[in-house]
A and B are shown apart, each in its own frame.
Chain A
Amino acid sequence: MPHPDTAPQDTAPQDVPPLVRMRDIRKSFGAHTVLDGVDLDIGTGEVVVLIGASGAGKSTLLRCVNGLERIDSGEIVIDGRELRYDEKSLNLMRRRVGMVFQHFNLWPHKSVLDNVTTAPVKVAGRDPRQVRDVALELLDQVGLKRFADRYPMSLSGGQQQRVAIARALAMRPKVMLFDEPTSALDPELVGEVLAVMRDLADSGMTMVAVTHEMRFARSVADRVVLMADGKIAEQGPPTAVLDNPRSERGRAFLRQVESV
């Protein structure tokens, strides 16, 4: 059994470099320090769930990975390439990093199918007909093929979020980031989105998810990372972190979550 503080051996052997490597990430908004020296590696095929109280820096860390937020200092390496902030490098990097947002952010003026096909065609320059087939397949995977010609506003939140997942997958990313993907959903719609995420994890996709769904973390995550005050307070296999937190921060957070 590896020490819970190291990267898990079963999914990321030491000789294979991590898919995402973050070193000493620091980020402030004005006088407020949001990330205070975070080191995190994500192995290929690994599913990592970030938990922690609101304001702990989880979402900001996630947004730093695909450059939606710019780090003040530190180093981010994705798939062997260091993250740089010039337009060209950013745009190329983002093709390999999919992101799913709390509020879906589908494009309301485009049909469900066009939401999925636009980036592969216009950004990656792939063949439109081929992309269309792939998009319909992806929509089928998330159970929404028959809604392909509808517009996002006519779908439920859960359906919209599943389209958003298909949209991100259409770029064939190497890693998928989920920023509280179920937080904006009515309770009865959470399950369908988590099911899609579970399928994705089973298919071997590398995933980093910020979520408050502890059941999901427990059953799908390879590793749970608990953040507090812009630092990683604790990390390890879900059972270790969620059942026997060693840090005071961890115990306090889990007491709060469980008392709900």
Chain B
Amino acid sequence: MSVLDGISRSLPLMLEGLKITLSLAALAVVFALAVGLVVAWMRMSRFAALRWLAQGYLALIRGTPLVAQLFVIYYGLVTVVDISSFWSAVIGLTVHTGAYMAEIFRSGVQSVPKGQTESARSVGMSRTQALRIVVAPQAFRSILPSLGNQFIIAVKDTAVASFITVPDLFMQAQKLAAATYEPLTYYLISAVYYLAVVMLLTALLRRLERRHTRYAI
């Protein structure tokens, strides 16, 4: 059987999987942005307790494999609350990606020269106003590339969800591979889907970046 045959025959199943993969990625990225903001803020807080909490979280997440984190959340949460594998995966991916987002946000804030905050404070802006009006917009521009990179990684990381029975793109490929004894065909096909999504995302991010570098002459 040719690969082209395989593509057309697997299309309905793969599209089902793609839908789940994209939902996973979108939810995880949106929630991770929020988690990242909060953790970055804690990490730069004046209060030592908040800084330690954030640092502990970062060390734990960055120091352990994503698969392990997912398994712990999946098997751990199930004992406490009734939660689907899909939402376990969303939580796991959020917790994981959020740590990296936090570090990106922190690097962004620290990339803005201290003089910017000083001039903001010197006209009477509060700490929060200086951050919101002066520092954050500049930080956002400088972190756009790394943020985009993290989006792309998050899309591909969703494949791990198949390990906890989420019927995502990769799970579909696994099923088809097992049923047809043609693993190479279907794993390659799934790779094409991932590649297409990432290329589309890359193009979108590039446009966003171009629009937001106006003032940097």
User: What is the interface of chain A, defined by CB distance below 8 A to chain B?
Assistant: 66, 68, 87, 90-92, 94-95, 97-99, 101, 103, 105-109, 118-119, 122-124, 151-154, 164, 167-168, 171
Set of chain B residues within 8 Å of A168, measured between Cβ atoms:
122-123
Report the Cα distance A103→B120, complex, angstroms: 14
B88 at the interface (CB under 8 A from A): no
Q: A105-B116, A109-B137, A109-B141 are in contact. Are A119 and B124 (CB under 8 A)?
A: yes
What's the nearest-Cβ distance from chain A to residue B111, in Å? Answer: 13
Contact A123 B124 (CB under 8 A): yes
Report the Cα distance A186→B81, complex, angstroms: 67
Cβ 8 A contact of B124, one of A94, A103, A164: A94
Contact B123 A108 (CB under 8 A): no
Contact A101 B118 (CB under 8 A): yes
Report the Cα distance A66→B217, complex, angstroms: 32
Q: A105-B116, A151-B217 are in contact. Are A91 and B126 (CB under 8 A)?
A: yes
Give the contact-size bracket for chain B.
20 to 34
Set of chain B residues within 8 Å of A153, measured between Cβ atoms:
215-217
Contact B217 A87 (CB under 8 A): no
B51 at the interface (CB under 8 A from A): no
Set of chain A residues within 8 Å of B141, measured between Cβ atoms:
109
Contact B119 A107 (CB under 8 A): yes
* Binary CB contact string for chain B from 110 to 129 against chain A (1 if under 8 A, 0 otherwise): 00010110111111111101
Report the Cα distance A97→B137, complex, angstroms: 26
* Chain B interface helix/strand/loop/mixed: helix
Report the Cα distance A118→B134, complex, angstroms: 10
Contact A68 B125 (CB under 8 A): no
Contact A101 B115 (CB under 8 A): yes
Set of chain A residues within 8 Å of B127, measured between Cβ atoms:
87
What's the nearest-Cβ distance from chain B to residue A104, in Å? Answer: 8
Report the Cα distance A91→B215, complex, angstroms: 29
Set of chain A residues within 8 Å of B118, measured between Cβ atoms:
68, 101, 105
Report the Cα distance A152→B119, complex, angstroms: 14
Other 6 A-B pairs with CB < 8 A, given A95-B124, A105-B118, A124-B124 = A108-B215, A119-B125, A122-B129, A122-B133, A153-B217, A171-B123
Set of chain A residues within 8 Å of B129, measured between Cβ atoms:
122-123
Residue of A nearest to B116 (CB): A105
Q: List 29 contacting pairs A-B, 8 Å CB cutoff, sorted by A.
A: A66-B122, A68-B121, A87-B126, A90-B121, A91-B124, A91-B125, A94-B123, A94-B124, A95-B123, A95-B124, A99-B122, A101-B115, A101-B118, A103-B115, A105-B113, A105-B115, A105-B119, A106-B119, A107-B134, A118-B133, A119-B123, A122-B125, A122-B133, A123-B124, A151-B215, A167-B119, A167-B123, A168-B123, A171-B123
